[in-house]
C-alpha cells in the first residue's frame, strides 16, 4: 500500500482516508500500468513506485473509487487538463479574487466534520453527513469541460453522482420548482468572506428540470481523489453546460423553493450575470465576447483560441430544457 503524504500543504482530513476502495483502486491502477508495459522490476524500484504513486494519486489526497459514467455525454475524449493547472488556477472568491489565491489560502478550510442541510419544499428535510451523502449513490467518473465566464476552460475528471439521485431521495414537494445551492461562508476560515465583492454566502440556483438532468453532478472528487480545498471540498456542484460560476463549491445547504432563487453573481451585477448563464457563444457578456475560449494548458505563444460551443458542447443533452425560450433574454 502507498503511504499517504500531502503535497503543497493540501490537507483533506477525511476520516476514512485509506479505505478498501482506495486499496482496490490502487491495485487496479497497478494492473493498468503493468498491462501498459511498466515492468514489475521497475515498479519494485523506488523511482518506479514514485512514478506509480504520481500516476494514480496526482494530489496525494484520499482516493475515491469510481466507474466511468454511462450517462450520455458524461465522458469527453478531450485531453484532460493537468492536475497542477486545475488546482492552481481557480475562482473561489471566499479565498481571494486572484486566480492564484484559492491554492494559497484554502488550506484553512475545515472540511471535517461536514454536513449538508436539505431544506425547503421537500418531504425529507434534514442534515446529511458528508459520509452519508457520499454513500447515497455509486460514485462515477465524469470527464467534463468547464468553461468560465471570463473565457478560459478546462477538462476535468470529476468524481460524483447525478444530483437527481439526491433529489429523488429527499422527495421534493409538488410545488418545488427550483433548487438553491448555498456555499459555506465562514469568516474564520475564509478570509474574503468579510469583503464586499459578493453578498455572502455564495448562492446559486437551478430550475428543477436542470437539477434533474443526469449531467448535473454532485461532486466529491476529481482525478480519482477527494476534492482539493481550492476546488470546492468536500462537496460541490458541477453543471457542465453553464458558465463555471453556476457550479457552487463547498456546499452546506440545498434548498427547494417555488420561486427563482437569487444568485450571488446576479445580485452583484444583474446586467452581466443572469439566472440561466448557459454557455452561449452568441450572447456576449456586456464587456467581452463569449465566442471563443482559451483552454488552460494550451497557452503557449502560438496557441489558438478555441471556438466556444453552444451549451459548452452539451447541446444534445440539454437543448430541450430551453425549447421555446429566448436565450438572449434568458441569459
Ligand X SMILES: Nc1nc2c(c(=O)[nH]1)N[C@H]1C(S)=C(S)[C@@H](COP(=O)(O)O)O[C@H]1N2
Binding-site residue positions for Mo-molybdopterin = 90, 93-94, 148, 183, 231, 236, 247-249
CA distances to 108, 179, 240 from 154, in Å = 25, 26, 11
Pairing of strands 203-207, 178-183: antiparallel
Q: Partners of 327 in the beta sheet?
A: none
Yes or no: say if 8 and 22 are a contact pair by the CB < 8 Å rule. no
Instruction: Draw the binding track, 195-234, toward Mo ion (x: CB under 5 A; -: no contact).
Output: ----------------------------------------
DSSP letter string over 158-210?
EEEEEHHHHHHHH-B-TT--EEEEEE---TTT-GGGGSSSS-SSPEEEEEHHH
Q: Using the minimum distance from each CB to ligand X, give the nearer residue, 205 or 232.
A: 232
Inter-helix orientation angle 46-56/20-35, to 10°: 110
Q: Using the minimum distance from each CB to ligand X, give the nearer residue, 92 or 114.
A: 92
Binding range to ligand X, per CB under 6 A, among 31-39, 67-75, 245-253, 299-307? 245-253
- Binding-site member from 245, 273, 311, 331 for ligand X (CB under 6 A): 245
Question: Which is it for the CA torsion 310, 311, 312, 313, positive or negative?
Answer: negative
**Burial class of residue 158, CB neighbours in 10 A (0-12, 13-18, 19+):** buried
- Please work out, in degrees rounded to the nearest 5, the angle formed at the alpha carbon of residue 139 by the alpha carbons of 128 and 227: 75
User: How many angstroms separate the first and last alpha carbons of the chain?
Assistant: 50
- Residues 90-109 touching Mo ion, rule: CB under 5 A, are 91
- Binding-site member from 148, 163, 166, 203 for Mo ion (CB under 5 A): 148
Instruction: Decide: helix, strand or coil at residue 63.
Output: strand
Residue 57 contacts ligand X per CB under 6 A: no
- Binding-site member from 58, 205, 244, 313 for ligand X (CB under 6 A): 244
Residue 183 contacts ligand X per CB under 6 A: yes
Residue 161 contacts ligand X per CB under 6 A: no
Residue 244 contacts Mo ion per CB under 5 A: yes
Residue 14 contacts ligand X per CB under 6 A: no
- Residues 200-239 touching ligand X, rule: CB under 6 A, are 202, 231-232
- Binding-site member from 56, 83, 94, 161 for ligand X (CB under 6 A): 94
Yes or no: say if 12 and 234 are a contact pair by the CB < 8 Å rule. yes
Q: Which does 216 bind (CB under 5 to 8 A by kind): ligand X, Mo ion, none?
A: none
DSSP annotation of 11 reads: -
- Binding-site member from 248, 252, 279, 283 for ligand X (CB under 6 A): 248
- Binding-site member from 25, 249, 253, 295 for ligand X (CB under 6 A): 249
Which residues fall in the annotated binding site? 90, 93-94, 148, 183, 231, 236, 247-249
Binding range to ligand X, per CB under 6 A, among 29-37, 62-70, 87-95, 170-178? 87-95
CA 220 to chain centre: 8
- Binding-site member from 139, 216, 229, 247 for ligand X (CB under 6 A): 247
Q: Using the minimum distance from each CB to ligand X, give the nearer residue, 33 or 248.
A: 248
CA distances to 208, 252, 268, 275, 314 from 203, in Å = 16, 10, 11, 11, 24
How many residues touch Mo ion (CB under 5 A)? 4
Residues that bind ligand X (CB under 6 A): 90-94, 146, 148, 183, 202, 231-232, 244-245, 247-250
Residues that bind Mo ion (CB under 5 A): 91, 148, 244-245
Amino acid at each position: 500500500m502507498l503511504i499517504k503524504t500531502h503535497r503543497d500543504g493540501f490537507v483533506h482530513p477525511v476520516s476514512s482516508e485509506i479505505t478498501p476502495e482506495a486499496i482496490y483502486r490502487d491495485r487496479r491502477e497497478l494492473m493498468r500500468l503493468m498491462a501498459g508495459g511498466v515492468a514489475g522490476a521497475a515498479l519494485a524500484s523506488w523511482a518506479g513506485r514514485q512514478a506509480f504513486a504520481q500516476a494514480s494519486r496526482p494530489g496525494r489526497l484520499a482516493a475515491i473509487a469510481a466507474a466511468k459514467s454511462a450517462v450520455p455525454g458524461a465522458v469527453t475524449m478531450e485531453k484532460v487538463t493537468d492536475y497542477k493547472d486545475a488546482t492552481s488556477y481557480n475562482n473561489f472568491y471566499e479565498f481571494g479574487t486572484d486566480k492564484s489565491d484559492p491554492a494559497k489560502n484554502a488550506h484553512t478550510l475545515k472540511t471535517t466534520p461536514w454536513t449538508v442541510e436539505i431544506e425547503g419544499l421537500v418531504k425529507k428535510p434534514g442534515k446529511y453527513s458528508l459520509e452519508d451523502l457520499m454513500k447515497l449513490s455509486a460514485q462515477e467518473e465524469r470527464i467534463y469541460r468547464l468553461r468560465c465566464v471570463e473565457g478560459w476552460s478546462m477538462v476535468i475528471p470529476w468524481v460524483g453522482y447525478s444530483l437527481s439521485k439526491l433529489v429523488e431521495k429527499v422527495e421534493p414537494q409538488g410545488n418545488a420548482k427550483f433548487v438553491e445551492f448555498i456555499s459555506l461562508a465562514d469568516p474564520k476560515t475564509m478570509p474574503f468572506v468579510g469583503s464586499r465583492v459578493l453578498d455572502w454566502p455564495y448562492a446559486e440556483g437551478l430550475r428543477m428540470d436542470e437539477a434533474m438532468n443526469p449531467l448535473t453532478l454532485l461532486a466529491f472528487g476529481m482525478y480519482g481523489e477527494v476534492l482539493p480545498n481550492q476546488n470546492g471540498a468536500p462537496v460541490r456542484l458541477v453543471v457542465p453546460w453553464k458558465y463555471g460560476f453556476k457550479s457552487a463549491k463547498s456546499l452546506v445547504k440545498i434548498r427547494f423553493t417555488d420561486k427563482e432563487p437569487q444568485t450571488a453573481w446576479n445580485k452583484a451585477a444583474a446586467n452581466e450575470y443572469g439566472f440561466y448563464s448557459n454557455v452561449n457563444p452568441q450572447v456576449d457578456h456586456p464587456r467581452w465576447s463569449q465566442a471563443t475560449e482559451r483552454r488552460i494548458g494550451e497557452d503557449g505563444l502560438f496557441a489558438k483560441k478555441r471556438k466556444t460551443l453552444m451549451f459548452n458542447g452539451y447541446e444534445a443533452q440539454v437543448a430541450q430544457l430551453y425549447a421555446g425560450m429566448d436565450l438572449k433574454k434568458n441569459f
